[in-house]
Amino acid sequence: MKPLCLVFLMGMLILSSSGCCKSIDINQSQLEGYPIASDVFTTLDKTIVPGTIPSGSETVLPYEISKFKQNGYGNSSYGPGIDFVKRLDIMPTNYSDQSVTNSTRLLNFFAITDIHITDKESPAQAIYEGYKGGSSSAYSPVMLYTTQVLDAAVQTINAIHKQNPFDFGISLGDTCNSIQYNELRWYIDVLDGKNINPDSGAKDDPIPGPYNDYQDEYKAAGLNKTINWYQTLGNHDHFWMGFLPPNDYIRQNVTGKDILNLGNPFIDPLGLDSRGFYMGSIDGRSPYGDIIGIGSAKDFAIPPKVLAADPNRRSLSREEWMSEFFNTSSSPKGHGFNQSNVKTGFACYTFEPNKTSLPIKVIVLDDTQRNDDPNDPDTLGYGNGSLGYGHGSLDSERYNWLVSELDKGQTEGKLMIIAAHIPIGVEHTGSMMGWNPTAEAELIAKLHSYPNLILWIAGHRHLNTITAFKSPDDARPELGFWEVETSSLRDFPQQLRTFEIVRNSDNTVSIFATDVDPAVKDGSPAAISRSYAIAAQQIFNNPLALAPTGSYNAELVKQLTPEMQEKLRSKTSQ
């Protein structure tokens, strides 16, 4: 069954005769953009299928980008589309959907997440932990093209919006790779449609000429100005590398030239006070982003440095991070955050996308750890080996706020969606990305007391997965809800997701969750990034529950209370 207003988008995008858009920057020089392919589609139409590595190929390390193509890494082809899987997991066991049709569209929105806009030339990275394997979060060749991938995703959203308008969009956190001001500005400026110079420090041009390498300045297309977009806080947005609160050493290091010297902060209790290895950086003068200043500290007679310092690399507090969303030309100002959020650092808020017509409330929840959380996995209940700040967490202030908002939404008769960075109920005890198991169980039990909660949406794990939270009471199936995770724009499959919520003819609701690959033009930076993302997946062999495409489309059916059935029926019949 297809959602009410879904259309296929083959060949619908009309480009200008020059193949790009132009605008005048503050220096009166013209900058062009990177156009996407005219073939704009969702994974309902076709999918991106990674190729296989030819037998006899040389084993390639993640940083050996120049060897990818000759050894068959990063190739892909188009595969068939993936239709919706109709999920009745949380419906009564005797429920029948025969003769049920989609009746009225209630809401249509998109979600992007885990974009990880990266200052690749920063001296304060963790490249050492991934450049020969290990953690692709620490190093991946996709670091070179993060702004251009976001720009392609935005253009794809705009093309879909022309055919099936979105009510809003939401970003589910980890906009930046590591709390730097310039990373955040690039992110907001891409969405605003500004000129983007994805270079830091000294100006570099690896391949002479414009629009032919990852360092070239370009004009972002910008999100359609009629679409309001909202922002969620992720762990990478206020922790160094998403992992540890920045200390004075990080703050001083990041704006200077000295490359970071650390031990292994992922296992060493000293964390950012450990030493022993230079973490490396990217030489922005090189066509393939060669790594510099990396290795054991004892092998360097002189401490390595990046090519140039840059004050715009400064690290941001969560308050400073939120305040930057008021420096924008798109809507709404603050993108959900208000001045109270900025003053207190409390990154939770609510909004109603269709306040005048439909009773739907979105609760944006900061479920990342606080900077003052103890970094002690045994005390917190995460299990041994789970140092770091990538866990899900709610202190009493945020938990009480969430309960209050859920209570209000339930009393006022509104369907509710929770948007958070970190998902619930999907990670095992001891996971680097899990919750305190006791707190998580209590949270899920509380959520099961709200029949109007229909959906929890999240990012964080870079996976497209759907989890059913069935009602604990078979006699009250309306207490069940769905969780939908969306993959990252950084790692394969580099997708965003659309959500269309409709009322059905039997007064249930269906949530149509659809994965979308950014449309990329052959040879463009976003197309190169896709090939690098596929190569990285082939090398790192990261978990991909939905191999080979990483994609999953579903129709998620939810039972409503009689009161909400009547309310929606009366609202949609007006």
- Interval 37-69: pLDDT, tens: 999 999 999 999 999 999 999 999 999 999 999
Mean pLDDT value of segment 94-105: 90
- The SS3 assignment for 139 reads coil
Select the highest-mean-pLDDT range: 106-115, 354-363, 424-433: 106-115
Confidence of residue 375 (pLDDT cuts 50, 70, 90): low
Contact 6, 44 (CB under 8 A): yes
pLDDT category of residue 214 using cuts at 50, 70 and 90 = very high
Which residues, other chains included, contact 372 with Cβ-Cβ below 8 Å and sequence gap of 6+?
none
Q: State the pLDDT at residue 270.
A: 85
DSSP letters spanning 439-494: HHHHHHHHHTT-TTEEEEEE-SS----EEEE--S-TT-GGG-EEEEE---SSSTT-
User: Torsion angle of alpha carbons 557, 563, 565, 567, nearest 10°?
Assistant: -130
Q: What is the pLDDT of residue 6?
A: 46
Q: What percent of the chain has pLDDT over 70?
A: 92
Average pLDDT of span 298-324: 97
- Cβ contacts of residue 346 below 8 Å, gap of 6+? 340, 366, 397, 398, 401
CB 518 within 8 A of CB 149: yes
**pLDDT value, residue 388:** 82
Q: How far is 63 from 474, CA to CA, in rounded Å?
A: 53
Pairing of strands 168-171, 229-231: parallel
Rounded to the nearest integer, the mean pLDDT of the chain is 91
Q: Dump pLDDT digits (tens) for 151-203.
A: 999 999 999 999 999 999 999 999 999 999 999 999 999 999 999 999 999 99
Which pLDDT score, from 0 to 100, does residue 371 have?
Answer: 87
pLDDT surpasses 80 at 355:
no
Closest CA to 564 of 507, 520, 518, 515: 507
**pTM of the complete model:** 0.93
Q: Which residue has the higher pLDDT, 526 or 13?
A: 526
294: pLDDT strictly greater than 70 = yes
pLDDT digits (tens, 9 = 90+) for 121-159: 999 999 999 999 988 999 999 999 999 999 999 999 999
Query: What number is the average pLDDT over the span 519-536?
Result: 97
What's the whole-number mean pLDDT along residues 273-289?
Answer: 96
Q: What's the rounded Cα separation, in Å, for the pair 197 and 531?
A: 23
On whether the CB atoms of residues 230 and 365 are closer than 8 A, the answer is: no
> Is 499 within 8 Å of 170 (Cβ atoms)?
no
Q: How high is the pLDDT of residue 10?
A: 38
Angle between helices 146-163 and 525-540 (to 10 degrees): 110
Question: What's the pLDDT at 13?
Answer: 37
What pLDDT does 379 receive?
60
| Percent of the chain with pLDDT strictly greater than 90 | 82
State the pLDDT confidence band at 21, using cuts at 50, 70 and 90. very low
Does position 25 have pLDDT exceeding 70, yes or no?
A: no
